[in-house]
A and B are shown apart, each in its own frame.
Chain A
Amino acid sequence: MEKFTVHKGLVIPLDRSNVDTDAIIPKQYLKSISRTGFGPTLFDDWRYEKTGEPGMDHSKRALKKDFVLNQPRYQGGSILLARENFGCGSSREHAVWALEDYGIRAVIAPSFADIFYNNCFKNGILPIVLSEEKVDSLFSETEMMEGYSLTIDLEKQQVIEKDDLHTEATSFEVDPVRKHCLLNGLDDIGLTLQHADEIKAYEEKRKQTAPWLFS
């Protein structure tokens, strides 16, 4: 997993609430047995004029020009600004793989759906919860100023807005274990297996008290 320490990037505003994982990556692409290659089909139904299928050359498909990912000013963006309950619905991690493959490193929203939030951390993407007011103001800034960028410092747990006149840092919460894994790009299976003896001891005890759980 790619480390996340300090990231500076262009902000892409996606002004919709309850964006579900079906919208992030439609079902026809879930048939893949690979973890990569989902970037070109991120937000497929909103991004292209016609329905896509796996195996197509997506670079040749007609684009919906108004959709934010298709606007020239947001090309190369790596921070997605979103509204409440982002990532609701299906548990498909393909949604996070699509964001990652597209080049998104962080998503900022007032709230996230639980499974999506969890899936982000497993793939080097930082989901950041900021207040509704702050998110509102970031939407205004992004829309007003072409090339609007933010810096995210995970160690300091800050989103930093910086222009010629001022610098403003907004703090965010992140679970210490997840932060540690993301900062160091750690594989959490390896970490868990350091406690293999404890897992075995728990299992042995449970086999005595609740044997029906083991058939």
Chain B
Amino acid sequence: MSGKTLYDKIFDSHVVREEDGTSLLYIDRHLVHEVTSPQAFEGLRLANRDLWRTNSIVAVPDHNVPTTKANRGNGTAGISDPVAKIQVETLNKNCEEYKINEFLMDDIRQGIVHVIGPEQGATLPGMTVVCGDSHTSTHGAFGALAHGIGTSEVEHVMATQCLIQKKMKNMLVSVDGKVGPGVTAKDIVLAIIGEIGTAGGTGCAIEFAGEAIMDLSMEGRMTVCNMAIEGGARAGMIAVDQKTIDYVKGRPYAPTGETWDKAVEAWQDLKSDDDAEFDEIVRIHAGSIEPQVTWGTSPEMVLSVNAKVPDPAAEDDAVKSQGIASALKYMGLEAGQSINEIAVDKIFIGSCTNSRIEDMREAASVVKGHKVADNVTLAMVVPGSGLVKKQAEDEGLDTIFTDAGFEWREPGCSMCLAMNADKLEPGERCASTSNRNFEGRQGQAGRTHLVSPAMAAAAAINGHFTDVRDLERAEV
């Protein structure tokens, strides 16, 4: 019998019961935010049901919160949109009523749910983690099984601590060798999605492996796992190593003393066995990955910054050709145009993909000593949490950004999905470190190009996409 994959190990250890291939999977950690939870709480109330295990839940408002300083510091009072305000207040009320631990808007620990989970140690290796948000795959960076769920499933987990699950397929994506200088986790994951396609991982849990992945910091690993869903996989995960354990140690929710030692011992097994079998294996040569820029309206529409926008006429498949043509039309681009000549209007550095301290440092090292180009109307940095923001400020990164003409904002999801006031106007073009370039994602008729923090910073300085490897980097 062959060995087990990391996914098999975590799945199997969480099966409460199994019948006809459908399992009740026990959930260790449930992260909750304001957008996908109100209907779940309402459902509990209507059915007169209680929470199964209150301390499994950590809640935080993030999608709707304003990111301007003037609108923060006074609870929900600063939310100018009355509908959004009701939603955040509903979360607060629900958490109060059900005695759930919530990091309120004014708490320094508030931030994007997928940043604060790991930051607080609420995400631990070997856990099953769910959240009513597709980017829950982020937490798989810790050797956890983490995936997004819908609101009905949020209610199901609240009431039963379980999820009804069929086992997914195992897919291995190995990024072999080392990436070149100036190539980051974001470029790696965009290149992977470019390779496997936006539905390449459908029905699978993806394990990311290989030297280039294990070389990444925990922040970088979170960036990679975050975008597993953009490759169609509900879950992305990475084996546990010493970096994982060092990151978790000493965090508020992490175990201590003897329990810590016991946990660390158990976590040593959180990797795929050498003889584990995968249903699909994809290998990518790290050395061939260049800084990436998406040019279309799906994350799979991605190329090197030094490439040219594709020509629909050169595509044989009629459906694909039509897809390219309509993406170019929406994006306002010409076939054959050099990507590094595309000028941008706005810069967004933030989101659950790229708003951690390492991302701030990467961007700051490009920005330091420069000014935002005149054609850029808004460049903003939105740290992923109050604690990331504070650390960045302690390191002086905020002044590097503001001196260059960036706005330094308060934490939240912000212009990744533009539920709050931060959005693109029709036709505006944005270099964004977020995860989705769908039509209208950052504002109706807005045009999104997904890039790494360093590449977004380079675009801010030059006013158009630029290979960040051609720029001098400052020490930060």
Contacts and interface: CB of A to CB of B under 8 A. Distances in A.
Interface of A: 17-18, 20, 22-23, 26-28, 30-35, 45, 51, 54-55, 83-85, 88-93, 96, 111, 113-115, 118-119, 122-123, 175-177, 187-189, 192-193, 195-196, 198-199, 202-203, 206, 210-215
A212 B152 contact: no
A119 B150 contact: yes
Interface in B1-43: 16-17, 19-20, 22, 24, 26, 28, 35-36, 38-39, 42
Contact of B148 (A30, A91, A177, A196): A91
Interface string B111-139: 00000000000001011000011100000
A22 B441 contact: yes
Contact of B439 (A23, A88, A111, A114): A23
B153 A118 contact: yes
6 contacts: A93-B150, A119-B152, A199-B26, A213-B28, A213-B124, A214-B53
B226 interface: no
Nearest to A90: B134
B151 A192 contact: no
Nearest to A26: B440
A17 B202 contact: no
Given A118-B150, A202-B26, 8 more contacts: A23-B439, A33-B87, A91-B148, A189-B47, A189-B159, A199-B26, A211-B262, A213-B127
Nearest to B416: A27
B243 interface: no
Interface in B424-450: 436, 438-441, 444-445
Interface stretch (B160-168, B206-214, B372-380): B160-168
A189 B24 contact: no
Contact of B35 (A30, A118, A119): A30
Given A85-B198, A88-B199, A188-B164, A198 B87 contact: no
B150 A27 contact: no
Given A27-B417, A32-B83, A212 B150 contact: no
Contact of B150 (A122, A177, A214): A122
Contacts of B164: 177, 188, 192
A131 B335 CA distance: 32
B155 interface: yes
A210 B39 contact: no
B439 A85 contact: no
Given A30-B35, A54-B83, A114-B232, A123 B152 contact: yes
Contact of A192 (B24, B133, B233, B254): B24
B352 to A, nearest CB: 12
B199 A111 contact: yes
Contacts of B36: 91-93
A199 B148 contact: no
Closest 9 CB pairs of A and B: A122-B152, A212-B255, A119-B150, A93-B150, A33-B38, A91-B148, A85-B199, A91-B134, A93-B151
Interface residues of B, number: 77
A16 to B, nearest CB: 8
A143 to B, nearest CB: 16
A114 B234 contact: yes
Contacts of B126: 210, 213
A212 to B, nearest CB: 4
B16 A22 contact: no
B319 interface: yes
Contact of B438 (A20, A31, A85): A20
Contact of A113 (B64, B86, B199, B298): B199
Contacts of B134: 89-91, 115
Given A34-B39, A192-B24, A115 B234 contact: yes
A169 B36 CA distance: 38
Contacts of A85: 198-199, 202, 232
B199 A33 contact: no
B202 A113 contact: yes
A113 B197 CA distance: 13
Nearest to B127: A213
Interface string B51-82: 01101100000011000000000000000010
Contacts of B162: 192, 199
A206 B262 CA distance: 13
Contacts of A212: 124, 254-255, 259-260, 262-263
B418 A27 contact: yes
Contact of B161 (A31, A119, A203): A203
Contacts of A93: 36, 39, 132, 150-152
B51 to A, nearest CB: 12
B149 interface: yes
A189 B157 CA distance: 9
B266 interface: yes
A83 B181 CA distance: 40
Contacts of B83: 31-32, 54-55
A181 to B, nearest CB: 9
B156 A188 contact: yes
B254 to A, nearest CB: 8
Contacts of B155: 189
B49 interface: yes
Contacts of A26: 440, 444
B323 interface: yes
A198 B266 CA distance: 24
B419 interface: yes
